[in-house]
Amino acid sequence: MIDKRSFYLCDVFTSKPLAGNQLAVVASLGHSDESLLSISREFGFSETIFIPADWYTRVDRNALELPARIFTPASELSFGGHPIIGLSSVLAIESLHRGTLLNKVSIDLAGGRCEVDIKAQSPNTARCTLTLPESPSVHDLELSKQTLANLIGLSAEDIDEGLCPCSGVICGSGFTFIPLKTTDAVKRVEIDKNIWKERLSETSFPNIYVFSPSGNETYDVRMFGFGIGQNEDSGTGAAAAGLAFLLSAVRNGRVSGKVTQGYHLGRGSNIYFEADASGASGAVMISGDCSLFAKGVLA
C-alpha cells in the first residue's frame, strides 16, 4: 500500500525486469523542492517522479486525476515520457491489488496535463498509452552538417538528410536530432564533449538524439542527455514522441512505428509511437510496457 513514505522501483518500456529505463515513483509530493531533489539524487536514476500520498482516495469510477513532479538528479523537468508511463503503470498495478481496475489517468505536470490510457495490467506489469499535453516543436539548427558529424564522431556521409533534416526538437527538453544512414553508424557514435560544450551546451537543444531505420517502421536510437545532467539514456519517451512528430511533419501524414533504445547499454527499451503533424491537433502518442521491480518505504 502506498503511503507518504512508500516508493516503487520499476523498469519502463519493457515487459520484464532488469531491462528498459529505471524509474522511482515516490509518494512524497508534499516535501520541499530541496528534499525532492535530494531524494532523486539518492535513487540516482535518470528520473524520479513524485505523487501525493493520498492518490488512491482520488480514484473515481476507474479513473484518476492527480498532480506530479519529475526530477532528475540535477533539476526538475516539465515533462518526461518514461516517468509518466512508469507512474501510470504503478498506479494501475497498485489499484489492481486493491480491487480497482484503473483504466485512465490524468497527470498534471508543469508542462501541462498528460492523458494516459491503461491498456493492460497484471500483478507486476502494465501497458499504457500516453497522449502528449502539446505537440513537439521542430526548429532549424545553426550547426553545419560537418560540425554535427564531428560532434558525434562520424563522417558527414553517415548523416541521412534524405530521411529527414537535422533538426532541433522541443518536447519537454530540447534535443538535437541527427538522422543516420545505418544502425552501424548509430552504434559507432562517440560524442566529442569539447564540441558539445562549445557549440551545443548553451543552445535550446543541448541533448543529442541519433537514429536510423532498422526495418518495418522501427528506428534504432541513442540519446545523450548532457543538457539535463545525464549521460546516455536507455529509454527516452519524450524524444521518441519528437521523432514521431518530425517524421509525420516530413511525410505530411500519420505515422506509427517503434523505437528501440538502450540495447547498446544492455537495457533494451521498446517505445511505440503514433503521430499526425498534418492535423489541426497535431496529436502525438507513445506507448510502452512497464515491469514492477521492487517496492519499499523511505526510512
pLDDT at 271: 98
pLDDT at 7: 95
Was domain 6-133+288-297 assigned CATH 3.10.310.10?
yes
First to last CA, the chain: 16
List of residues 6+ apart from 158 with CB closer than 8 A? 149, 180, 181, 182, 185
Distance (Å) of CA 21 to CA 83, 120, 229, 234, 252: 9, 19, 16, 5, 31
Cell of 78: 516539465
Counted residue by residue, the chain has a size of 299
DSSP H stretches of helix in the chain: 33-43, 81-97, 145-152, 183-188, 193-195, 237-251
Superfamily the domain 137-282 falls into: Diaminopimelate Epimerase; Chain A, domain 1 (3.10.310.10)
pLDDT at 31: 82
pLDDT at 280: 57
Count the helix, strand and coil residues of the chain and give each as a percent rounded to the nearest 5: 25, 40, 35
pLDDT at 3: 54
pLDDT tens across the length of the chain (299 residues): 445 679 999 999 999 999 999 999 999 887 899 999 999 999 999 999 999 999 999 999 999 999 999 999 999 999 999 999 999 999 999 999 999 999 999 999 998 999 999 999 999 999 999 999 889 999 999 999 999 999 999 999 999 999 999 999 999 999 999 999 999 999 999 999 999 999 999 999 999 999 999 999 999 999 999 999 999 999 999 999 999 999 999 999 999 999 999 999 999 999 999 999 886 556 899 999 999 999 999 88
Region label for 284, one of left (φ > 0), alpha (ψ between -120 and 50) or beta (otherwise): beta
What are the residue ranges of CATH 3.10.310.10 in the chain? 6-133+288-297, 137-282
Instruction: Determine which helix (DSSP H) or strand (DSSP E) holds 51, and give its type and residue range.
Output: none
List of residues 6+ apart from 228 with CB closer than 8 A? 72, 74, 75, 77, 173, 206, 207
This prediction's pTM:
0.95
